[in-house]
Chain A
Amino acid sequence: MQTRREIYKSIKDIPRAEYLAGGTGLCAGCGGLLALRLLHKALGPNVVFVNAAGCLTLLAVFPFTPFHSSWLYTAMASAPAGAQGIRDALDVLIAKGKLAKEEDLKVVVVTGDGAANGIGLQATLGAIFRGLDFYYFCYDNEAFGNTGFQMSPASPLGSRTATTPTGTTTRKENLFELWRAQRPAFVATVSAAYPLDLMDKVARAGRLHGSKLFVSLSSCPPGWGIEPAESVEIAKLAVDTGVWPLKEGHDGEVIHTVVPHRFRPVEEYLQRQARYRHLFEPTRQEDILRRLQADVDQYWAAVRPTPS
Chain B
Amino acid sequence: MSRVRHLRLHGRGGEGVKLAAHVVSRAAFLAGHTVQDSPLYGAERRGAPVVAFVRFGDGEIHERGYIVMPDAVVLMDVSLLAHPEAAVLDGLDHASVLLANSRHTADELKRHYGIPARVVSLDISSIALELLGHPLLSAPVAGFVTKALGIAPWETLAEAVRIELQAIGLARELIEQNLRATRRAFDESPLVAWGERAPSAAAAGAAPFVVPRLPARLSAPSMTVEATSALRHTEGWRVYRPEIERARCTRCFLCFALCPEGAIQLDGESYPVVDYEHCKGCLVCVSECPPKAIHEIREETA
Chain A residues packing against B (C-beta within 8 Å): 11-12, 14, 16, 18, 20-31, 33-34, 37-38, 55, 57-68, 145-149, 165, 192, 195, 221-222, 227-233, 281
Known contacts A22-B275, A23-B231, A33-B260; A65/B283 CB under 8 A:
no
Interface of B is mostly: loop
Q: Which residues of B contact A11 (CB under 8 A)?
A: 252-254, 257
Task: Give A29's nearest chain B residue, CB to CB.
Answer: B282
Complex formed: what's the CA distance from A14 to B230 in Å?
A: 22
Interchain nearest-CB distance for A24 vs B (Å): 5
Cross-chain contact of B228 among A18, A63, A195 (Cβ < 8 A): A63
Q: Which residues of A contact B234 (CB under 8 A)?
A: 22-23
Interchain nearest-CB distance for B169 vs A (Å): 7
The segment from B32-40, B43-51, B92-100 found at the interface with A is B43-51
B76 at interface by CB-CB < 8 Å: no
Complex formed: what's the CA distance from A41 to B262 in Å?
A: 11
Q: Which residues of B contact A38 (CB under 8 A)?
A: 257
Task: Give A72's nearest chain B residue, CB to CB.
Answer: B222
Known contacts A65-B227, A195-B257, A232-B288; A25/B48 CB under 8 A:
yes
Known contacts A23-B234, A58-B43; A65/B221 CB under 8 A:
no
Are the CB atoms of A23 and B253 closer together than 8 Å?
A: no
Cross-chain contact of A37 among B221, B260, B281 (Cβ < 8 A): B260
Interchain nearest-CB distance for A184 vs B (Å): 28
Q: Which residues of B contact A63 (CB under 8 A)?
A: 223, 228
Known contacts A23-B231, A62-B223, A232-B284; A14/B45 CB under 8 A:
no
Complex formed: what's the CA distance from A222 to B47 in Å?
A: 12
Complex formed: what's the CA distance from A147 to B219 in Å?
A: 28
Known contacts A22-B275, A222-B46; A28/B265 CB under 8 A:
no
B261 at interface by CB-CB < 8 Å: yes
Q: Which residues of B contact A28 (CB under 8 A)?
A: 46-47, 237, 260, 280-282
Are the CB atoms of A22 and B287 closer together than 8 Å?
A: no
Complex formed: what's the CA distance from A222 to B260 in Å?
A: 15
Complex formed: what's the CA distance from A12 to B256 in Å?
A: 10
Complex formed: what's the CA distance from A2 to B222 in Å?
A: 43
Are the CB atoms of A67 and B227 closer together than 8 Å?
A: yes
Against A, the Cβ 8 Å flags (1 = close, 0 = not) of B248-264 are: 00001110111111110
Complex formed: what's the CA distance from A55 to B42 in Å?
A: 11
B217 at interface by CB-CB < 8 Å: no
Could you say which of B221, B227, B256, B278 has the most chain A C-beta atoms within 10 Å of its C-beta? B227
B292 at interface by CB-CB < 8 Å: no
Q: Which residues of A contact B259 (CB under 8 A)?
A: 34
Could you say which of B230, B261, B283 has the most chain A C-beta atoms within 10 Å of its C-beta? B261
Complex formed: what's the CA distance from A4 to B70 in Å?
A: 63
Are the CB atoms of A65 and B262 closer together than 8 Å?
A: no
Are the CB atoms of B230 and A21 closer together than 8 Å?
A: yes
Q: How many A-B residue pairs have CB under 8 A?
A: 144
Are the CB atoms of A18 and B262 closer together than 8 Å?
A: yes
Task: Give B258's nearest chain A residue, CB to CB.
Answer: A232
Cross-chain contact of A145 among B42, B44, B229 (Cβ < 8 A): B44
Complex formed: what's the CA distance from A261 to B7 in Å?
A: 58
Complex formed: what's the CA distance from A218 to B169 in Å?
A: 25
Q: Which residues of A contact B221 (CB under 8 A)?
A: 62
Q: List 21 A-B contacts (CB under 8 A).
A: A11-B254, A14-B256, A16-B256, A21-B227, A22-B263, A23-B229, A23-B233, A23-B234, A23-B277, A28-B46, A29-B260, A29-B283, A31-B260, A64-B228, A66-B227, A66-B229, A66-B230, A148-B44, A222-B14, A229-B283, A233-B287
Q: Which residues of B contact A58 (CB under 8 A)?
A: 42-43, 45
Complex formed: what's the CA distance from A60 to B228 in Å?
A: 9
Q: Which residues of A contact B279 (CB under 8 A)?
A: 22
Task: Give A11's nearest chain B residue, CB to CB.
Answer: B253
Cross-chain contact of B260 among A57, A59, A145, A231 (Cβ < 8 A): A231
Complex formed: what's the CA distance from A68 to B263 in Å?
A: 16
Cross-chain contact of B258 among A30, A34, A147, A228 (Cβ < 8 A): A34
Q: Which residues of A contact B252 (CB under 8 A)?
A: 11
Against A, the Cβ 8 Å flags (1 = close, 0 = not) of B112-139 are: 0000000000000000000000000000
B266 at interface by CB-CB < 8 Å: yes
Task: Give A230's nearest chain B residue, CB to CB.
Answer: B287
Task: Give A71's nearest chain B residue, CB to CB.
Answer: B223
Q: Which residues of A contact B266 (CB under 8 A)?
A: 16
Interchain nearest-CB distance for A299 vs B (Å): 27
Known contacts A28-B281, A58-B42, A229-B282; A165/B227 CB under 8 A:
no
Task: Give A20's nearest chain B residue, CB to CB.
Answer: B262
Q: Which residues of B contact A25 (CB under 8 A)?
A: 42, 45, 47-48
Cross-chain contact of B229 among A14, A21, A34 (Cβ < 8 A): A21
Could you say which of A22, A30, A147, A148 has the most chain B C-beta atoms within 10 Å of its C-beta? A22
Are the CB atoms of A65 and B257 closer together than 8 Å?
A: no
Are the CB atoms of B230 and A22 closer together than 8 Å?
A: yes
Complex formed: what's the CA distance from A224 to B271 in Å?
A: 33
Are the CB atoms of B223 and A228 closer together than 8 Å?
A: no
Task: Give A57's nearest chain B residue, CB to CB.
Answer: B43
Complex formed: what's the CA distance from A243 to B230 in Å?
A: 36
Q: Which residues of A contact B237 (CB under 8 A)?
A: 28
Complex formed: what's the CA distance from A56 to B154 in Å?
A: 43
Interchain nearest-CB distance for B285 vs A (Å): 9
